[in-house]
Amino acid sequence: MTLIEKLENNQRLTLEDGVALYDLDLFTLGKYANQRRRTLHGNKVFFNVNRHINPTNICKDICKFCAFSANRKNPNPYTMSHEEILSILDNSVKNNHITEVHVVSAHNPDAGFEWYMEIFSKIKERFPSLHVKALTAAEINFLATEYNLSFDEVIDKMIEYGVDSMPGGGAEIFDEKVRENVCKGKVSSAEWLQIHELWHKRGHESNATMLFGHVEKREHRIDHMLRLRDLQDRTNGFNAFIPLVYQRDNNYLHVDDFLSSTEILKTFAISRLMLDNIKHIKAYWATSTINLALVAQEYGADDLDGTIEAEAIQSAAGANSAKGLGLQSILELIETSGFTAVERDSLYNELKIY
Ligand code: V47
């Protein structure tokens, strides 16, 4: 069967197929990705009203691509108190009616296990209906190592303290050689997958990211997608795949060739086609720009992430996302692009169709 026949017949694609998809022209690729996307989601573009909080930027790990960590070129280390976090959320809940808080921290060995965990029960106590999406597999691995706990023990604590779902961060790129180069010492690929598997087995859901556009090759991206597809076949716990476009400023990863918009759109389209068992492809506007994230909705993506309010990780590396995006702007942008805006909750239940 040729590649086009496989696409026409919705056949499962192999590593070789995935790499060969990059050789198709963007419009042919986009046609098939868009067909899949429309079969799954019609004309809908999903977003949520959320707030990102990054409670500390002090990190014992050294990832070359990271401009957020205070150990690197960023001279302003900080660790928020729980009161500070709760008062930020008071404002976000009252004024912006957020439905989700996304909490991702650096790996701070001085903060303490309780500092990492107790904030979740405090959030739940004050805002019982707020969805807490928190702790990447990289943070869970850090907490397990630092406090001599098993992954199961950390996960049990997360559940006890009120974490509802896990974000997809820390996946970077699974290929071991590339990983060793860009984020040596942090959670391994096998551990990242194992932690998500344990989380899914408890009946909980999570997302999966992929950092691309740095030193990885096309086949590494496809390999990354396939490792996620394999796990999803077993657990069905991933809600969304999120390809994160590498931002280049203020870090220690020297990259000469930056991706073209065509390569970025192809990667969204290919992820839609390869990941036949993950329902949502998120074009996280903070890394792709909102403009390209909207175009990506024609090339396989169906989600933009949300209002965010304050973004610290990608903006530290040059993205124009520090202040989030207003609800009204998101709605106007989706509608003027010819799509139906759908506000969702964190698990993709539809809250409001505009
Ligand atoms: O894993 C770090 C990435 C991620 C850079 O699950 C960078 O809904 C680009 O995981 N250029 C954390 N990216 C963010 C994250 C996330 C974001 C939005 C939604 C969800 C979700 C998860 O940020 C890290 C890393 O891959 N990152 N530095 C950079 N220079």
Does position 176 have pLDDT exceeding 70, yes or no?
yes
What does DSSP say about strands 350-353 and 340-344: parallel, antiparallel, or unpaired?
antiparallel
Does position 75 have pLDDT exceeding 90, yes or no?
no
Q: Is residue 99 part of a domain?
A: yes
Q: In the structure, what pLDDT confidence band is assigned to residue 286 with cuts at 50, 70 and 90? A: very high
Give the Å distances, CA to CA, from 13 to 97, 223, 243: 41, 12, 18
Ligand 1, atom nearest to 251 Cα: 30
Task: Scan for tokens 């986009």, then name that residue.
Answer: 30
CATH of the domain at 260: 3.20.20.70
Rg (CA), the chain: 19
Give the Å distances, CA to CA, from 247 to 62, 64, 201, 255, 288: 16, 12, 34, 10, 9
Does position 74 have pLDDT exceeding 70, yes or no?
no
Answering whether pTM is above 0.95, one says yes
Q: Is residue 1 part of a domain?
A: no
Q: In the structure, what pLDDT confidence band is assigned to residue 191 with cuts at 50, 70 and 90? A: very high
Q: In the structure, what pLDDT confidence band is assigned to residue 9 with cuts at 50, 70 and 90? A: very high
Write out the residue range of the structural domain in which residue 274 sits. Answer: 12-353
Residues with CB under 6 Å of ligand 1 are 65-67, 104, 136, 167-170, 172, 207, 209, 211, 242, 244, 246-247, 251, 284, 287, 305, 313-314, 317
Alpha carbon of 210 to ligand 1 centroid (Å): 8
Q: Is residue 5 part of a domain?
A: no
Q: Is residue 254 part of a domain?
A: yes
Q: Is residue 2 part of a domain?
A: no
Ligand 1 pocket test: pick from 61, 163, 209 the residue with the most ligand atoms within 8 Å of its Cβ: 209
What is the average pLDDT score of the chain? 96
Count up the domains in the chain and report the number: 1
Q: How confident is the model over 122-172, as pLDDT tens digits?
A: 999 999 999 999 999 999 999 999 999 999 999 999 999 999 999 999 999
Alpha carbon of 103 to ligand 1 centroid (Å): 12
Q: Is residue 7 part of a domain?
A: no
- Output the residue whose Cα is nearest ligand 1's atom 15: 169
Q: How many angstroms separate the CA atoms of 239 and 145, rounded? A: 27
3 state SS of 136: coil
